[in-house]
């Protein structure tokens, strides 16, 4: 099998696992297995990064028509079965992202609110191997607050300007 083929078949397996998780959850809780719900799940797992309801709704429009109400409702289900996570990076800004196979951390700028992701294998390993009194981790998120490079630079400039004014 060529490498490209192998990668695409791994992707297909992974998609099947996620769909199976969702199916188990829907059955267990007596929810209907509607094609809209699976279309939303597929869309979320096909895209990268953080999204909000509005951007997901816009992406969906291109391939599959679903109402905002269905999106809200499905996001609640996906949160409940831990296939997505909800982030409140700032008070006005609710974002979601997939959780499965998506271990990364967030750098949040306290000044402009931008969010950058980074991955660090050593942090991941520490968390995975930490004995947590029998607690089983499904996913986690780590927020690191500070100033992004751009804001830090702007602030540095304005503080030297103030100094020079004196």
**Close Cβ partners of 43 (under 8 Å, ≥ 6 residues apart):** 56, 59, 60, 63, 64
**Any contact of residue 84 with Zn ion (CB under 5 A)?**
no
Q: Count of alpha carbons within 13 Å of 82, Cβ hemisphere only?
A: 11
- Using CB under 5 A, pick the residue from 31, 100, 151, 154 that binds Zn ion: 151
How near is the Cβ of 71 to Zn ion at its closest, in Å?
19
Q: How far is the CB of 54 from Zn ion (least distance, A)?
A: 18
- Residue closer to Zn ion, measured from CB, 56 or 66: 56
Site for Zn ion in 91-110 (CB under 5 A): 97, 109
The rounded distance, in Å, linking the Cα atoms of 75 and 94 is 12
Q: Which residue's structure tokens are 């999204």? A: 51
How many chain residues touch Zn ion (CB under 5 A)?
7
148 touching Zn ion, by CB under 5 A: yes
111 binds Zn ion (CB under 5 A): yes
Work out whether 112 is an interface residue with Zn ion (CB under 5 A): yes
CB 98 within 8 A of CB 86: no
21 part of the interface to Zn ion, by CB under 5 A:
no
SS3 103: coil
Q: How far is the CB of 87 from Zn ion (least distance, A)?
A: 7
Q: Which is nearer to Zn ion, 65 or 157 (CB)?
A: 157
Q: And the tokens for 30?
A: 């007596």
Pairing state of beta strands 105-109 and 93-98? unpaired
* Residue 3: CB minimum distance to Zn ion, A: 28
φ, ψ (nearest 5 deg) of residue 88: -115, 80
Residues near Zn ion (CB under 5 A) are 97, 109, 111-112, 117, 148, 151
């Amino acid at each position: 099998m060529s490498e490209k083929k192998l990668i695409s078949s791994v992707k297909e397996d992974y998609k099947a696992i996620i769909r199976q998780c969702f199916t188990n959850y829907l059955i267990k809780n007596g929810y209907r297995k509607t094609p809209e719900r699976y279309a939303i799940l597929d869309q979320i797992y096909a895209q990268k990064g953080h999204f909000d309801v509005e951007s997901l709704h816009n992406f969906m429009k291109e391939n599959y028509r679903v109402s905002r109400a269905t999106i809200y409702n499905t996001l609640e289900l996906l949160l409940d079965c831990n296939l997505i996570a909800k982030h409140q990076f700032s008070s006005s800004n609710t974002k979601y992202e997939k959780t499965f196979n998506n271990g990364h951390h967030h750098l949040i700028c306290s000044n402009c609110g931008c969010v950058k992701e980074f991955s660090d294998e050593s942090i991941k390993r520490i968390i995975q191997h930490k004995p947590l009194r029998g607690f089983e981790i499904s996913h986690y998120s780590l927020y690191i607050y500070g100033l992004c490079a751009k804001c830090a630079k702007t602030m540095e400039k304005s503080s030297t300007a103030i100094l020079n004014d004196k």
